[in-house]
Chain A
Amino acid sequence: MKFANRELRNKLAAEYVLGTMSAHARRRFEINLKENPALRRAVSEWEKRLMPLALALPEVEPPPRVWQAIESRIRASRQARSGFWESLSFWRLSSIATGLVALALLTLVMVPGPGVPPADGIRMVVVMNDLKTRNPAMTVSWEPGKPGKRVMRIRVLGHAEMAPGTAWELWMLPGKDQKPVSLGLITTHDAQTVIVPEPLAAKLDRAQGLAMSVEPSGGSPTGSPTGPVLYAGPLVET
């Protein structure tokens, strides 16, 4: 591996974060950054060390036109392409290691068990990552395309804990300009099933992804996610 030397990684990361590199050196460094997790870690450690310095700068209010420009750009991009995939950059940039874990998980959910349809049927699979650790945290799979309801098989990985007085709510992210749709509350049990009624079934098959948010016990009072989103992942057809 390039930059196998820890000292060198540390030195370059420090220079990059401080910002003293030339344009050329910065670009070269960024290329290496993409493929080197150890280098990324070194950079993020230096960011943690140095960025608090910026808090010393007196605030400067930007003119309103900046927000207006941002807002019109995100509106335009939402109409032009699917927003969720854009947001899931980690999915595409994920390291080979994470890719292998995801693959192993796919295999895991694909293994026919009691009640699982024969392997010739297409299945939709969502590997939902913990947005904090970026590790796979939950998988959801179902058989798409049939008339009637969908039976979603959910596996919660590891030992997740739910804070007292809260609930986990599962959301379908239809994409484009549409709001998340509640699929109901789930538990922390490692294997569970959620039934999605017929009117939502076709929409679910075409959704961009799923997300899980923490809500007050009993679920979101507003019908939209109100709490922090813990897990999310895009739909994959297998």
Chain B
Amino acid sequence: MTAMDAEQLSELLSRCVLRDQRAFKTLYHYSSAKLFAVAVRITRRRDWAEEVLQESFINIWNHASGYNAAKSAPMTWMTAIVRNRALDLLRRPREVEIDEGHEDLMASIPDESPGPEELLKQSIEAGALAECMKQLTGEQQKSIALAFFNGLSHGELARQMQKPLGTVKTWIRRGLERLKSCLDARGI
């Protein structure tokens, strides 16, 4: 699929305000595979990821007028919608506790999918962000990547990294602080 630039996507979004279904379909065509990847990764279940993608696009259609091109790139805006949906679904109270030993659920992630740290390396293309990520300590990078890509909460991170909750929280907080000051310095 050929990439579509931010300006084209943002124009499609503005046409969704006019209830232009064709523009909406084009928008879906060009962005759904990227957004679905985000949903699959966080929810770790195809069926949930499909639900997330569906709800997110309904949200995008209904709130296209809320998109502010001056403030964020279209993919940033849409990715945030998908991540929020996915995280809400992941965190919703469930009768079945799936936090522990959910091999069956994990099985639905393709095995070849790269780990969070590998993804972080791949995001090197993301320019300034990657540059700044490199300035963080290994633990800070790992905990931020696990939280971002896999949607882990503080508690889950502590369990996965086998470290006290306070330690993990500090890694994340300091890592994000450093990231911010580095990006700020680069005018991002």
B80 proximity list for chain A (CB < 8 A): 17, 47, 51
Point out the residues of chain A lying under 8 angstroms from B19, CB to CB: 78, 83-84, 87, 173
Q: Does A5 sit within 8 A of B, measured CB to CB?
A: no
Task: Report the bound CA distance from A82 to B123 in whole Å.
Answer: 42
In the complex, the answer to whether A48 meets B72 with C-beta atoms within 8 Å is: yes
Complex CA–CA separation, A69 to B61 (angstroms): 13
State whether the Cβ of B88 lies closer than 8 Å to any Cβ in chain A: yes
| Total residues of chain A contacting the partner, CB 8 A | 62
Binary flags per residue of B124-149, CB closer than 8 Å to A gives 1, else 0: 01100100000000000000110111
Q: Are B53 and A131 in contact (CB under 8 A)?
A: no
For A211, what are the chain B residues with a Cβ–Cβ distance below 8 Å? 17-18
Q: Produce 1/0 per residue, A88-122, CB < 8 A to B.
A: 11100100000000000000000000000000000
- Asked whether, in the complex, the Cβ of A180 is within 8 Å of the Cβ of B18, the reply is yes
Counting chain A CB atoms within 10 Å of each CB, the highest count among B10, B11, B70, B148 belongs to: B148
* B164 CB–A CB distance under 8 Å: no
Residues of B within 8 A of A10 (CB): 180
Contact of B53 among A22, A53, A66 (CB under 8 A): A66
The reply to whether the CB of A65 lies closer than 8 angstroms to some CB of chain B is yes
Chain A residues within 8 Å of B15, by CB: 225, 228-229
* A89-B91 contact, Cβ under 8 Å, with A22-B155, A54-B79, A57-B149: no
Residue on A with the closest CB to B76? A51
Which label, helix, strand, loop or mixed, suits the secondary structure of the A interface? Answer: helix
| A133 CA to B66 CA, complexed, in Å | 10
Question: Which residues of chain A have a CB within 8 Å of any CB of chain B?
Answer: 10-11, 14-15, 17-23, 26, 44, 47-63, 65-67, 69-71, 73-74, 78, 83-84, 86-90, 93, 131-134, 171, 173, 180, 211, 213, 225, 227-230, 232
Q: For residue A213, which residues in chain B have a CB less than 8 angstroms away from its CB?
A: 18
Give B87's nearest chain A residue, CB to CB.
A19
Q: Is the Cβ of B65 less than 8 Å from the Cβ of A62? A: no
Most chain B beta carbons < 10 A, residue from A23, A66, A134? A66
Q: Which residues of B contact A (CB under 8 A)?
A: 1, 10-11, 14-21, 24-25, 28, 32-34, 36-38, 40-42, 49-50, 53-54, 57-58, 61-73, 75-77, 79-80, 83, 87-88, 91-93, 113-114, 119-120, 122-123, 125-126, 129, 144-145, 147-149, 151-155, 157, 172-173, 176, 179-180, 183, 188
Whether B33 contacts A19 by the Cβ 8 Å rule is no
In the complex, which residues of chain A have a beta carbon less than 8 angstroms from the beta carbon of B145? 53
Q: How far is the CA of A61 from the CA of B17 in the complex (A)?
A: 26
Task: State A48–B129 Cα separation when bound (angstroms).
Answer: 10
Other than the given A49-B129, A67-B28, 8 more pairs (CB < 8 A) read: A19-B151, A22-B154, A23-B93, A47-B77, A51-B75, A52-B76, A53-B120, A57-B41
| Chain B residues positioned under 8 Å from A17 (CB to CB) | 80
Enumerate chain A residues within 8 angstroms of B20, measured Cβ to Cβ. 225
